[in-house]
Amino acid sequence: MNFQQLRIIRETVRQNFNLTEASAALYTSQSGVSKHIKDLEDELGVQLFVRKGKRLLGLTEPGQSLLGIVERMLVDAENIKRLADDFNKVDEGTLTIATTHTQARYVLPPIVNQFKKLFPKVHLILQQASPTEIAEMLLQGEADIGIATESLTTEENLASVPYYQWQHSIIVPQSHPLSQEREITLEALSNFPIITYHGGFTGRSKIDKAFEEAGIDVDLVMSALDADVIKTYVELGMGVGIVNDVAYDRERDYRLKQIKTDIFGLNTTWIAVRKGHLLRGYGYEFISLCSPEADTKALKRVAYPDE
Protein backbone atom coordinates (compact mmCIF):
# COMPACT_ATOMS: atom_id res chain seq x y z
CA MET A 1 0.00 0.00 0.00
CA ASN A 2 1.32 3.47 -0.88
CA PHE A 3 0.14 7.08 -0.89
CA GLN A 4 -0.32 7.13 -4.67
CA GLN A 5 -2.85 4.32 -4.37
CA LEU A 6 -4.67 6.25 -1.65
CA ARG A 7 -4.71 9.42 -3.77
CA ILE A 8 -6.13 7.41 -6.68
CA ILE A 9 -8.94 6.02 -4.51
CA ARG A 10 -9.85 9.52 -3.32
CA GLU A 11 -9.63 11.14 -6.75
CA THR A 12 -11.63 8.37 -8.44
CA VAL A 13 -14.51 9.03 -6.03
CA ARG A 14 -14.16 12.82 -6.51
CA GLN A 15 -14.36 12.36 -10.28
CA ASN A 16 -17.56 10.32 -9.97
CA PHE A 17 -15.73 7.07 -10.78
CA ASN A 18 -14.55 8.33 -14.18
CA LEU A 19 -11.04 6.89 -14.56
CA THR A 20 -10.20 9.18 -17.48
CA GLU A 21 -10.88 12.28 -15.41
CA ALA A 22 -9.20 10.81 -12.32
CA SER A 23 -6.03 10.05 -14.26
CA ALA A 24 -6.03 13.55 -15.79
CA ALA A 25 -6.41 15.15 -12.34
CA LEU A 26 -3.46 13.11 -11.05
CA TYR A 27 -1.33 13.64 -14.20
CA THR A 28 -0.96 9.93 -14.83
CA SER A 29 -2.25 7.36 -17.30
CA GLN A 30 -5.63 5.66 -17.09
CA SER A 31 -3.95 2.26 -17.29
CA GLY A 32 -1.73 3.26 -14.37
CA VAL A 33 -4.79 4.24 -12.31
CA SER A 34 -6.50 0.93 -13.08
CA LYS A 35 -3.38 -1.02 -12.15
CA HIS A 36 -2.97 0.80 -8.83
CA ILE A 37 -6.60 0.07 -7.93
CA LYS A 38 -6.26 -3.63 -8.83
CA ASP A 39 -2.95 -3.94 -6.94
CA LEU A 40 -4.51 -2.43 -3.81
CA GLU A 41 -7.57 -4.70 -4.04
CA ASP A 42 -5.29 -7.72 -4.47
CA GLU A 43 -3.18 -6.66 -1.47
CA LEU A 44 -6.24 -6.11 0.76
CA GLY A 45 -8.10 -9.14 -0.56
CA VAL A 46 -11.38 -7.21 -1.04
CA GLN A 47 -13.10 -5.53 -3.95
CA LEU A 48 -13.31 -1.78 -3.37
CA PHE A 49 -15.39 -0.73 -6.41
CA VAL A 50 -18.63 -1.92 -7.95
CA ARG A 51 -17.94 -2.71 -11.61
CA LYS A 52 -19.83 -3.22 -14.83
CA GLY A 53 -17.32 -4.53 -17.29
CA LYS A 54 -14.39 -2.10 -17.16
CA ARG A 55 -16.53 0.75 -15.79
CA LEU A 56 -16.62 1.69 -12.12
CA LEU A 57 -20.12 2.39 -10.82
CA GLY A 58 -19.50 3.08 -7.12
CA LEU A 59 -17.92 1.85 -3.92
CA THR A 60 -18.53 -1.51 -2.32
CA GLU A 61 -19.18 -1.64 1.42
CA PRO A 62 -15.46 -2.22 2.17
CA GLY A 63 -14.63 0.60 -0.24
CA GLN A 64 -16.92 3.00 1.59
CA SER A 65 -15.29 2.11 4.91
CA LEU A 66 -11.83 2.52 3.41
CA LEU A 67 -12.60 5.94 1.91
CA GLY A 68 -12.94 7.63 5.31
CA ILE A 69 -9.60 6.18 6.43
CA VAL A 70 -7.96 7.27 3.16
CA GLU A 71 -9.22 10.83 3.60
CA ARG A 72 -7.82 11.01 7.14
CA MET A 73 -4.47 9.53 6.14
CA LEU A 74 -3.99 11.98 3.27
CA VAL A 75 -5.00 14.95 5.43
CA ASP A 76 -2.53 13.85 8.12
CA ALA A 77 0.20 13.46 5.50
CA GLU A 78 -0.44 17.04 4.37
CA ASN A 79 -0.38 18.18 8.00
CA ILE A 80 3.05 16.61 8.48
CA LYS A 81 4.35 18.70 5.60
CA ARG A 82 2.78 21.85 7.04
CA LEU A 83 4.25 21.11 10.46
CA ALA A 84 7.72 20.83 8.96
CA ASP A 85 7.18 24.02 6.95
CA ASP A 86 6.16 25.86 10.11
CA PHE A 87 9.61 25.19 11.55
CA ASN A 88 11.60 25.59 8.33
CA LYS A 89 9.81 28.45 6.54
CA VAL A 90 7.77 30.33 9.12
CA ASP A 91 6.91 33.30 6.89
CA GLU A 92 6.75 31.64 3.46
CA GLY A 93 4.15 29.57 1.66
CA THR A 94 0.64 29.82 0.21
CA LEU A 95 -2.66 30.64 1.90
CA THR A 96 -5.90 30.06 -0.02
CA ILE A 97 -9.00 31.96 1.11
CA ALA A 98 -12.36 30.94 -0.35
CA THR A 99 -14.98 33.65 0.03
CA THR A 100 -17.89 35.41 -1.64
CA HIS A 101 -17.66 38.47 -3.86
CA THR A 102 -19.07 40.74 -1.16
CA GLN A 103 -16.40 39.75 1.37
CA ALA A 104 -13.57 39.89 -1.18
CA ARG A 105 -14.65 43.26 -2.57
CA TYR A 106 -15.88 45.17 0.49
CA VAL A 107 -14.64 43.51 3.69
CA LEU A 108 -11.27 41.87 3.13
CA PRO A 109 -9.14 44.54 1.35
CA PRO A 110 -7.85 46.18 4.58
CA ILE A 111 -7.24 42.74 6.12
CA VAL A 112 -5.32 41.55 3.07
CA ASN A 113 -3.30 44.77 3.08
CA GLN A 114 -2.32 44.26 6.73
CA PHE A 115 -1.55 40.59 6.18
CA LYS A 116 0.74 41.23 3.20
CA LYS A 117 2.69 43.77 5.22
CA LEU A 118 3.21 41.18 7.96
CA PHE A 119 3.89 38.26 5.61
CA PRO A 120 5.21 39.63 2.29
CA LYS A 121 6.56 36.23 1.20
CA VAL A 122 3.24 34.42 1.61
CA HIS A 123 1.36 33.96 -1.66
CA LEU A 124 -2.27 34.79 -0.88
CA ILE A 125 -4.95 33.33 -3.15
CA LEU A 126 -8.53 34.68 -3.03
CA GLN A 127 -11.02 32.27 -4.56
CA GLN A 128 -14.51 33.72 -5.08
CA ALA A 129 -17.34 31.20 -4.93
CA SER A 130 -20.83 30.56 -3.59
CA PRO A 131 -21.21 29.60 0.11
CA THR A 132 -21.95 25.99 -0.85
CA GLU A 133 -18.89 25.88 -3.09
CA ILE A 134 -16.77 27.43 -0.33
CA ALA A 135 -17.78 24.69 2.11
CA GLU A 136 -16.99 22.05 -0.51
CA MET A 137 -13.58 23.61 -1.25
CA LEU A 138 -12.73 23.43 2.45
CA LEU A 139 -13.89 19.83 2.71
CA GLN A 140 -11.90 18.85 -0.39
CA GLY A 141 -8.74 20.58 0.85
CA GLU A 142 -8.81 23.12 -1.99
CA ALA A 143 -8.93 26.09 0.41
CA ASP A 144 -7.38 26.74 3.82
CA ILE A 145 -9.93 29.25 5.15
CA GLY A 146 -13.53 29.91 4.13
CA ILE A 147 -15.49 33.11 4.75
CA ALA A 148 -19.24 33.32 4.10
CA THR A 149 -22.60 33.96 5.74
CA GLU A 150 -24.28 30.67 4.76
CA SER A 151 -23.32 26.98 4.70
CA LEU A 152 -20.21 27.06 6.91
CA THR A 153 -21.93 26.27 10.23
CA THR A 154 -24.04 23.38 8.95
CA GLU A 155 -21.14 21.09 7.96
CA GLU A 156 -20.05 18.86 10.85
CA ASN A 157 -16.54 18.53 9.39
CA LEU A 158 -15.96 22.29 9.51
CA ALA A 159 -14.99 24.35 12.57
CA SER A 160 -16.10 27.99 12.51
CA VAL A 161 -15.92 31.25 14.47
CA PRO A 162 -18.01 34.44 13.99
CA TYR A 163 -16.38 37.13 11.86
CA TYR A 164 -18.82 40.07 12.03
CA GLN A 165 -22.54 40.82 12.14
CA TRP A 166 -24.36 42.92 9.60
CA GLN A 167 -27.77 43.95 8.26
CA HIS A 168 -29.21 44.50 4.82
CA SER A 169 -29.64 47.98 3.33
CA ILE A 170 -32.07 49.32 0.78
CA ILE A 171 -30.42 50.85 -2.31
CA VAL A 172 -32.37 53.20 -4.61
CA PRO A 173 -31.56 55.91 -7.18
CA GLN A 174 -31.27 59.38 -5.66
CA SER A 175 -34.53 60.42 -7.34
CA HIS A 176 -36.52 57.36 -6.22
CA PRO A 177 -39.71 57.94 -4.14
CA LEU A 178 -38.20 55.91 -1.27
CA SER A 179 -35.05 58.03 -1.15
CA GLN A 180 -36.74 60.59 1.10
CA GLU A 181 -37.99 58.00 3.59
CA ARG A 182 -36.13 57.57 6.89
CA GLU A 183 -37.69 54.21 7.69
CA ILE A 184 -38.77 51.62 5.17
CA THR A 185 -41.45 49.00 5.84
CA LEU A 186 -41.93 45.67 4.10
CA GLU A 187 -45.26 46.97 2.82
CA ALA A 188 -43.60 50.00 1.24
CA LEU A 189 -40.95 47.83 -0.40
CA SER A 190 -43.56 45.51 -1.87
CA ASN A 191 -44.86 48.39 -4.01
CA PHE A 192 -41.69 48.27 -6.11
CA PRO A 193 -39.82 45.58 -8.07
CA ILE A 194 -37.00 44.06 -6.02
CA ILE A 195 -33.42 43.22 -7.04
CA THR A 196 -31.37 41.24 -4.54
CA TYR A 197 -29.05 38.29 -4.04
CA HIS A 198 -29.48 34.88 -5.57
CA GLY A 199 -30.78 32.15 -3.25
CA GLY A 200 -28.13 30.93 -0.82
CA PHE A 201 -26.09 34.14 -1.00
CA THR A 202 -25.53 36.94 1.52
CA GLY A 203 -28.52 36.46 3.78
CA ARG A 204 -31.09 35.94 1.02
CA SER A 205 -32.94 33.46 3.26
CA LYS A 206 -33.53 36.23 5.82
CA ILE A 207 -35.08 38.44 3.12
CA ASP A 208 -37.41 35.68 1.93
CA LYS A 209 -38.37 34.79 5.50
CA ALA A 210 -39.25 38.40 6.40
CA PHE A 211 -41.68 38.78 3.49
CA GLU A 212 -43.10 35.28 3.98
CA GLU A 213 -43.79 35.79 7.69
CA ALA A 214 -45.46 39.12 6.92
CA GLY A 215 -47.63 37.43 4.27
CA ILE A 216 -46.42 39.86 1.61
CA ASP A 217 -45.87 38.93 -2.04
CA VAL A 218 -42.99 40.71 -3.75
CA ASP A 219 -42.10 41.29 -7.38
CA LEU A 220 -38.56 39.87 -7.52
CA VAL A 221 -37.48 40.99 -10.98
CA MET A 222 -33.83 39.98 -10.75
CA SER A 223 -31.35 38.17 -8.51
CA ALA A 224 -27.57 38.28 -8.75
CA LEU A 225 -24.51 36.77 -7.09
CA ASP A 226 -22.90 40.02 -6.00
CA ALA A 227 -23.80 43.53 -4.89
CA ASP A 228 -22.03 45.33 -7.76
CA VAL A 229 -24.36 43.71 -10.29
CA ILE A 230 -27.39 44.51 -8.14
CA LYS A 231 -26.38 48.17 -7.85
CA THR A 232 -25.80 48.41 -11.61
CA TYR A 233 -29.39 47.48 -12.37
CA VAL A 234 -30.79 49.57 -9.55
CA GLU A 235 -29.00 52.55 -11.08
CA LEU A 236 -30.73 51.77 -14.38
CA GLY A 237 -34.08 52.11 -12.60
CA MET A 238 -35.08 48.46 -12.86
CA GLY A 239 -35.94 48.07 -9.18
CA VAL A 240 -35.10 48.59 -5.53
CA GLY A 241 -31.94 46.84 -4.35
CA ILE A 242 -31.46 44.92 -1.11
CA VAL A 243 -27.76 44.38 -0.33
CA ASN A 244 -25.31 43.82 2.51
CA ASP A 245 -24.91 47.20 4.21
CA VAL A 246 -21.11 47.11 3.74
CA ALA A 247 -21.60 46.98 -0.03
CA TYR A 248 -22.37 50.68 -0.34
CA ASP A 249 -19.49 53.02 -1.14
CA ARG A 250 -20.50 56.66 -0.69
CA GLU A 251 -17.95 57.96 -3.21
CA ARG A 252 -18.36 55.34 -5.93
CA ASP A 253 -22.13 54.93 -5.51
CA TYR A 254 -22.97 58.64 -5.43
CA ARG A 255 -25.86 58.12 -7.88
CA LEU A 256 -27.52 55.82 -5.36
CA LYS A 257 -29.01 56.35 -1.92
CA GLN A 258 -28.48 53.86 0.92
CA ILE A 259 -31.30 53.45 3.41
CA LYS A 260 -30.31 51.42 6.46
CA THR A 261 -32.93 49.13 7.96
CA ASP A 262 -33.35 46.34 10.47
CA ILE A 263 -36.47 44.78 8.94
CA PHE A 264 -34.53 41.74 7.71
CA GLY A 265 -32.81 40.98 11.00
CA LEU A 266 -29.19 40.40 11.87
CA ASN A 267 -26.79 38.23 9.85
CA THR A 268 -23.47 36.69 10.87
CA THR A 269 -20.56 36.09 8.55
CA TRP A 270 -18.38 33.15 9.61
CA ILE A 271 -14.75 32.09 9.24
CA ALA A 272 -14.29 28.33 8.89
CA VAL A 273 -11.55 25.72 8.51
CA ARG A 274 -11.76 22.01 7.90
CA LYS A 275 -11.47 19.81 10.95
CA GLY A 276 -8.20 17.92 10.80
CA HIS A 277 -6.60 20.50 8.50
CA LEU A 278 -3.58 22.06 10.23
CA LEU A 279 -3.05 25.68 9.19
CA ARG A 280 0.36 27.28 9.04
CA GLY A 281 0.94 29.91 11.74
CA TYR A 282 0.21 32.75 9.34
CA GLY A 283 -3.18 31.19 8.60
CA TYR A 284 -4.27 31.68 12.20
CA GLU A 285 -2.78 35.17 12.08
CA PHE A 286 -5.03 35.95 9.10
CA ILE A 287 -8.06 34.84 11.14
CA SER A 288 -6.92 37.03 14.06
CA LEU A 289 -6.65 40.04 11.74
CA CYS A 290 -10.20 39.41 10.52
CA SER A 291 -11.62 38.96 14.00
CA PRO A 292 -9.39 40.02 16.92
CA GLU A 293 -12.00 38.58 19.30
CA ALA A 294 -11.79 35.14 17.68
CA ASP A 295 -10.26 32.51 19.96
CA THR A 296 -7.88 30.99 17.42
CA LYS A 297 -6.50 28.60 20.04
CA ALA A 298 -9.98 27.21 20.63
CA LEU A 299 -10.55 27.02 16.86
CA LYS A 300 -7.29 25.14 16.48
CA ARG A 301 -8.30 22.69 19.23
CA VAL A 302 -11.66 22.02 17.56
CA ALA A 303 -10.22 21.81 14.06
CA TYR A 304 -7.22 19.74 15.06
CA PRO A 305 -7.84 18.15 18.49
CA ASP A 306 -4.62 16.12 18.46
CA GLU A 307 -2.43 19.20 18.05
**pLDDT mean values, one per 10 residues, the chain (307 residues):** 83 87 86 85 85 85 85 77 62 91 93 95 94 92 93 89 93 93 90 94 92 94 94 96 94 94 93 85 90 73 59
The pLDDT value recorded for residue 303 is: 64
The pLDDT value recorded for residue 88 is: 52
The pLDDT value recorded for residue 126 is: 95
Q: Please report, as a single letter, which amino acid is at residue 256.
A: L
Antiparallel, parallel or unpaired: β 194-197 and 220-224: parallel
Under 8 Å between Cβ of 196 and 204: yes
The strand pairing partners of 273, in sequence order, are 159
What CA–CA distance (Å, rounded) separates 144 from 91? Answer: 16
What CA–CA distance (Å, rounded) separates 280 from 287? Answer: 12
SS3 of the chain: the string is CCHHHHHHHHHHHHCCCCHHHHHHHCCCCHHHHHHHHHHHHHHHCCCCEEEECCEEEEECHHHHHHHHHHHHHHHHHHHHHHHHHHHHCCCCEEEEEEECHHHHHHHCHHHHHHHHHHCCCEEEEEEECCHHHHHHHHHCCCCCEEEECCCCCCCCCEEEEEEEEECEEEEEECCCHHHHCCCCCHHHHCCCCEEEECCCCCCHHHHHHHHHHHCCCCCEEEEECCHHHHHHHHHCCCCEEEEEHHHCCCCCCCCEEEEECCCCCCEEEEEEEECCCCCCHHHHHHHHHHCCCCCHHHHHHHHCCCC
The pLDDT value recorded for residue 108 is: 95
The pLDDT value recorded for residue 90 is: 64
